């Protein structure tokens, strides 16, 4: 498609596969809008991610950037390291299930401790996360069961948060340097521009965007490294060294070969042109669904020379966190916890893929990895 049909129009949607066309479309957010509103408003309330070119989007993103501070990253990475190492130390040889042991647990602990959204317990938090992400980002056919589960999860989540926030009044005295405590103090001082329900919705967003995408990235990148013996050797060496950047570069290149998301959807708000100025410029009508191929774009040879080769240090062109106005708000947090969790895995002695179906990533018929069993230690078979 990239070679001969870079814009391919099919009955249900139009697919973009080249890097330049992908980033152009993602940059024009008021023309090509996100389709999330029906999946978010009845769940977590009117939320910035579902809106383009609005006060809510502009204001709320600014507020959340102010409370998700860059200087928090070292502590967040340290928490990811401790959480993963402790969990892995408790797993006996010769195998470990990456999903059930660390890939969900680590981002969950970040939400609870660094973001300051503890939730009632792990079980509720993980269920809320799964249900909201499955519908909001993985329900293109509008399956009613997924939508109902998302709305139920959002209703439960908002009810719990309201009670949690009531216990912390007056907000001006909220103690702590976690994200929620900062948000409460900012709001109490009249600096956020948010009312109580808007605060609740944005706290929901701290969970919704954190766990399942992070877990999938950890699983996918780990598998891609282990599929390549030479890369595995390099990853083990880098994990044991003090050169964190070298290990991280391996992770982001590995994720290019199987990103956590290969397409993102956009809907044309008006009649518009895709790939304007090119020989494959294509006009789409208002309401047209665009499948923006971020996975394909990361194999565009014009941006990624020798795209089928595993080459590190390509990070500036990666689209793992999206592009444009809807680029992942917490991307710098993800840049810390994803590679650090994987680094802890590669500190396991004898880490390797295991043979047979048990060694494959198991999606269990759903949108997210539910199991990924790898071998480690002297007893691992591979």
Ordered mean pLDDT values, 10 residues apiece, the chain (382 residues): 96 97 97 96 94 91 94 97 98 95 98 98 98 96 96 98 98 97 98 97 96 98 98 98 95 97 96 97 98 97 95 84 92 96 97 92 96 84 45
51 exposure class (CB count in 10 Å sphere: 0-12, 13-18, 19+): buried
Residue with tokens 């589960």: 149
Residue with tokens 């042109």: 273
- Residue 74, CA distances (Å) to 66, 67, 242, 362 in order: 17, 15, 15, 32
- The sign of the torsion formed by the CA atoms of 170, 165, 207, 33 equals negative
Q: Model pTM? A: 0.96
Looking at residue 174, its pLDDT comes to 97
At 291, is the secondary structure helix, strand, or coil? Answer: strand
Neighbouring C-beta atoms of residue 70, cutoff 10 Å: 9
In eight-state DSSP terms, residue 309 is S
Distance CA 160, CA 180 (A): 14
Nearest in space to 49 (alpha carbons), one of 164, 132, 117, 141: 132
Looking at residue 382, its pLDDT comes to 44
Rg (CA), the chain: 21
Looking at residue 317, its pLDDT comes to 85
Half-sphere exposure of 43 (CA within 13 A, CB side): 31
- Residue 237, CA distances (Å) to 233, 293, 346, 382 in order: 6, 33, 9, 20
Looking at residue 378, its pLDDT comes to 72
Distance CA 343, CA 194 (A): 39
Q: What is the DSSP string of 55-100?
A: HHHHHHHHHHHHHS-GGGHHHHHHHHHHHHHHHHHTSPTTEEEHII
The CB-based long-range contact list for 138-144 (8 Å cut-off, 24+ gap) reads: 138/367, 138/368, 139/39, 140/265, 142/38
């Amino acid at each position: 498609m990239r070679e001969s049909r870079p814009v391919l129009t099919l009955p249900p949607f139009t697919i973009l596969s080249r890097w330049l066309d992908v980033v152009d479309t993602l940059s024009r957010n008021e023309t090509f809008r996100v389709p999330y509103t029906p999946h978010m408003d009845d769940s977590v309330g009117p939320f910035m991610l579902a809106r383009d070119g609005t006060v809510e989007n502009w204001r709320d993103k600014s507020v959340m950037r102010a409370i998700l501070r860059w200087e928090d990253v070292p502590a967040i990475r340290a928490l990811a390291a401790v959480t993963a190492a402790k969990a892995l130390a408790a797993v006996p040889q010769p195998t470990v299930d990456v999903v059930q042991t660390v890939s969900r647990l680590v981002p969950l602990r970040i939400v609870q401790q660094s973001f300051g959204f503890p939730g009632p317990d792990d079980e509720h938090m993980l269920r809320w996360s799964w249900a909201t992400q499955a519908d909001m980002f993985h329900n293109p056919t509008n399956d009613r069961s997924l939508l109902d589960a998302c709305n139920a999860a959002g209703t439960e989540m908002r009810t719990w948060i309201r009670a949690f926030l009531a216990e912390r009044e007056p907000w001006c005295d909220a103690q702590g340097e976690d994200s929620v405590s900062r948000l409460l103090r900012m709001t109490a001082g009249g600096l956020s521009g948010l009312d109580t329900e808007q605060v609740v919705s944005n706290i929901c967003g701290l969970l919704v965007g954190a766990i399942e995408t992070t877990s999938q990235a950890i699983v996918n990148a780990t598998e891609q490294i282990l599929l390549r013996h030479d890369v595995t050797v390099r990853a083990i060496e880098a994990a044991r060294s003090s050169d964190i950047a070298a290990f991280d570069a391996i992770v982001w290149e590995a994720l290019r070969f199987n990103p956590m998301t290969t397409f993102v959807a956009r809907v044309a708000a008006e009649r518009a042109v895709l790939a304007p100025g090119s020989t494959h410029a294509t006009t789409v009508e208002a309401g047209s669904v665009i499948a923006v191929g971020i996975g394909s774009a990361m194999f565009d040879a014009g941006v990624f020379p020798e795209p089928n080769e595993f080459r590190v240090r390509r990070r500036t062109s990666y689209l793992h966190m999206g592009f444009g106005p809807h680029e992942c708000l917490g991307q710098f947090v993800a840049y810390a916890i994803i590679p650090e969790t994987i680094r802890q895995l590669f500190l396991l002695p004898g880490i390797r893929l295991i043979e047979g179906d048990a060694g494959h990533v198991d999606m269990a018929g759903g949108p997210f990895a539910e199991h990924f069993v790898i071998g480690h230690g002297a007893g691992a078979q591979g």
